[in-house]
Amino acid sequence: MLVNSITNCRNFRNGVNRIHYAIYCSTNDAFNLLLQQTLKRVHYWECKDKVNLIAAFTDKSNPEFKNKQWAITYAAKDVVEDYYGHKTLLVENFDKSDELGQLAPINCKSSVSVDNSLVNKVSSLFPTDKTKLFVKSLLKYGKIATMDIFSMTDKKFEHALYDRIAYVKSNAQMFTEQLSVFDHQDTLDKLKVLGDFEYCLNKYADPMTLNSEVHTLFISNSDLFNDIFDYATKVYGMKYQGIVWKSFGLINDHQLKLDEYKLIDSIIDLQQELSKQFVPKEGQVSLYEATYLS
């Protein structure tokens, strides 16, 4: 009964399609992977009230309905990330990782995952669509996934990688200058958005106005805030992502209010992580000086 209530959701069907196209598996495999991950996300095996759990997936008037739809969305994301080994920009366990480092000088030590904009900026520096796609896949997913996506043998992959590294070496100055600009500007852009969020919290006492301004900020910067919501879920145990996304500032329920605070804590974490780039090491100028005073 619960399985039917989950799999009949439109969001579940969309999730199956996303997995199918993202990891190149059959729709049947995608279906089973998503179902298993969704059941895990809603703590099915520990749940003692299966009736209410079923209602939360089927009854749109149920206060938990939207949250359960978000559970399906995040479950689909989990499946894809698990398949590709949680790769971000730096490719781990790779034979030429030292040389490949030239392609990815971006700081990836943040516990909040780096958004796709930096991958796109790095790959944009390569000359053809084919090389751009190869680099984008390699930086985001790693060697194994890239070989799978492009149907490459080890020999073909090594040859393609050699060509990309040769291009970087022959255009080293351009890469150094452009990536420095990208990295600095991306950090500044993110800090500005997070500063706007903080400004909203301090300025708008009226809950309706606060909700409107913050929700607009979420929508306008969805990639950044999706990553932050995901971080809040994994690190702080945020449970009601959908409700907080839509109703931030309007929430009075104690449990839901805790999720608002978890989101704020996650934003503070990211602010602190990004702000470290403004603190110069000995003999260096700060990011602010390099950007605005040079």
Predicted TM-score (pTM) of the model is 0.43
Place of tokens 């702000």: 275
* Range with top average pLDDT, 100-109, 110-119, 161-170, 259-268: 259-268
pLDDT value of position 61: 84
pLDDT value of position 129: 78
- Whether the predicted pLDDT of 40 surpasses 80: yes
Digit-coded pLDDT (tens) for 73-121: 888 888 887 776 544 333 333 333 333 333 333 333 333 344 456 677 7
Cβ(41)–Cβ(73) below 8 Å: no
For 103-112, 185-194, 271-280, 281-290, which range has the lowest pLDDT when averaged over its residues?
103-112
- Whether the predicted pLDDT of 191 surpasses 80: yes
Digit-coded pLDDT (tens) for 192-251: 888 889 888 888 888 899 989 998 889 888 888 888 998 998 899 998 888 888 889 888
pLDDT value of position 1: 66
* pLDDT, greater one: 185 or 225: 225
Query: Which one-letter amino acid corresponds to residue 255?
Result: Q
* Range with top average pLDDT, 106-115, 173-182, 235-244, 269-278: 235-244
Helices (H), the chain: 2-7, 10-23, 27-41, 50-58, 65-83, 97-100, 116-123, 129-141, 143-149, 154-170, 172-203, 207-220, 222-236, 241-247, 254-275, 287-292
pLDDT value of position 264: 92
